[in-house]
């Protein structure tokens, strides 16, 4: 018998990277998901979007880390993904949570704490030092304020908000980006701490703008958060080009999301013209409705 699980991707509205060092982040689940289906087998195999993976693929290690917690032997795992991977949209965490849920069904151990541990063990294979923000968003959905090591707090929006999302850059490895930020911190600890405090302040100010639907203020805060992230060398020419296009189409603000160094860009403002402009420039883009 096959057991299945699914989980959503996410966008980090503000606070990525700083969240690794204990600053709160605002994160929202999006309605694009990962699905996993698992059954016992004589030897382990993984299919991603119908394609068998090579034995040296890191997903085998991730599966082994997660399934060990359930004491399961060899497995056949099938994965489907509605999200671009390596773009800061939480694809690896969504796959991890979807797989952990499928494993939990197979082992008939449905407690959330073990699902969380299994999904984090999976995530550690890709992210080395994950803050847990992606895994939390994949498990919980909705809009959340997340602090590393704490239960997330739901943020209730007065009305749903449309965030425009564009896949601007080439995929970027999160672990390497987190590592490069850690090196900056070692080199200039005082400047780094000041940046963390500034991001914490932006996150604090952004929460009420989400609740009241004040898109103009949210956009300004996103621009400021982006400036601080780019001072950590996380932006790229492709990201800046996508932001410029969004601004030209009437966006109130925009930023990279997730690890940066490539990947996705978020913009707040009138989504139809922003999406049209991105698509005309050849970018894959979509609208994420948050707080529904
Ligand atoms: O997986 P990504 O690209 O969404 O990045 C995760 C967010 C970071 O803050 C960069 C890392 C982390 O573990 O929180």
For residue 47, what are the contacts with CB-CB under 8 A and spacing of at least 6? 53, 76, 77, 78, 79
Neighbours of 54 (CB within 10 A): 9
Average pLDDT over residues 138-145: 95
Q: Cα–Cα distance between 19 and 197 in angstroms, integer? A: 11
Q: Is the pLDDT of residue 53 over 90?
A: yes
Q: Cα–Cα distance between 138 and 185 in angstroms, integer? A: 28
Ligand 1 within 6 A of CB of 178: yes
Q: Cα–Cα distance between 291 and 27 in angstroms, integer? A: 11
pLDDT digits (tens, 9 = 90+) for 236-255: 999 999 999 999 999 999 99
Phi, psi of 270 (to 5 degrees): -60, 110
Ligand 1 within 6 A of CB of 88: yes
Rounded to the nearest 10 degrees, the angle between the axes of helix 237-248 and helix 271-280 is 130
With cut-offs at 50, 70 and 90, classify the pLDDT of residue 129. confident
Amino acid 190: pLDDT: 97
Q: Report CA Rg, the chain.
A: 19
Q: Is the pLDDT of residue 86 over 90?
A: no
Instruction: Work out the percent of the chain whose per-residue pLDDT is above 70.
Output: 100
Q: Which of 127, 132, 229, 255 to mutate to test the pocket of ligand 1 (most atoms within 8 A of CB)?
A: 127
Token pair of 234 as six digits: 């996380």
With cut-offs at 50, 70 and 90, classify the pLDDT of residue 292. confident
Kindly report the average pLDDT of the chain as a whole number: 96
Contact 37, 2 (CB under 8 A): yes
Residue that the structure tokens 């939480």 belong to: 90
Q: Is the pLDDT of residue 22 over 90?
A: yes
pLDDT digits (tens, 9 = 90+) for 182-234: 999 999 999 999 999 999 999 999 999 999 999 999 999 999 999 999 999 99
Q: Cα–Cα distance between 256 and 140 in angstroms, integer? A: 23
CA of 262 to the centre of ligand 1 (A): 13
With cut-offs at 50, 70 and 90, classify the pLDDT of residue 284. very high
Nearest to 167 by CA among 51, 22, 286: 286
pLDDT digits (tens, 9 = 90+) for 179-191: 999 999 999 999 9
Q: Give the residue numbers marked as catalytic.
A: 134
Ligand 1 within 6 A of CB of 19: yes
Average pLDDT over residues 71-83: 96
Average pLDDT over residues 132-151: 95
Strand partners, 33: 8
With cut-offs at 50, 70 and 90, classify the pLDDT of residue 127. confident
Q: Which of 9, 169, 178 to mutate to test the pocket of ligand 1 (most atoms within 8 A of CB)?
A: 178
Average pLDDT over residues 146-155: 96
**Ligand 1 atom nearest to CA at 86:** 3
């Amino acid at each position: 018998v096959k057991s299945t699980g699914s989980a959503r991707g996410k966008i980090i509205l503000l606070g990525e990277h700083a969240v690794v060092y204990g600053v709160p982040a605002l994160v929202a689940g999006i309605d694009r998901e990962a699905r996993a289906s698992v059954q016992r087998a004589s030897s382990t195999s993984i299919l991603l979007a119908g394609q068998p993976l090579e034995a040296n693929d890191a997903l085998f290690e991730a599966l082994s880390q997660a399934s060990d917690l359930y004491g399961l032997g060899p497995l056949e795992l099938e994965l489907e993904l509605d999200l671009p991977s390596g773009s800061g949209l939480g694809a690896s965490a969504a796959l991890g949570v979807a797989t952990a849920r499928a494993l939990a069904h197979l082992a008939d151990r449905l407690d959330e704490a073990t699902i969380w541990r299994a999904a984090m063990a999976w995530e550690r294979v890709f992210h080395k030092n994950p803050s847990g923000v992606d895994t939390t968003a994949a498990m919980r959905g909705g809009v959340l304020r997340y602090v590393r090591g704490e239960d997330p707090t739901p943020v209730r929006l007065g009305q749903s908000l449309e965030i425009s999302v564009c896949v601007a850059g080439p995929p970027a490895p999160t672990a390497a980006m987190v590592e490069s930020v850690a090196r900056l911190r070692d080199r200039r600890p005082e400047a780094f701490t000041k940046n963390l405090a500034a991001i914490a302040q932006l996150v604090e100010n952004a929460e009420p703008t989400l609740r009241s639907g004040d898109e103009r203020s949210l956009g300004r805060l996103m621009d400021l958060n982006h400036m601080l992230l780019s001072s950590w060398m996380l932006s790229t020419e492709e990201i800046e080009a996508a932001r410029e296009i969004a601004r030209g189409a009437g966006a109130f603000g925009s930023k990279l999301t997730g690890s940066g160094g490539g990947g996705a860009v978020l913009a707040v403002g009138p989504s139809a013209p922003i999406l049209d402009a991105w698509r005309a420039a050849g970018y894959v883009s979509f609208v994420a409705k948050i707080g529904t």
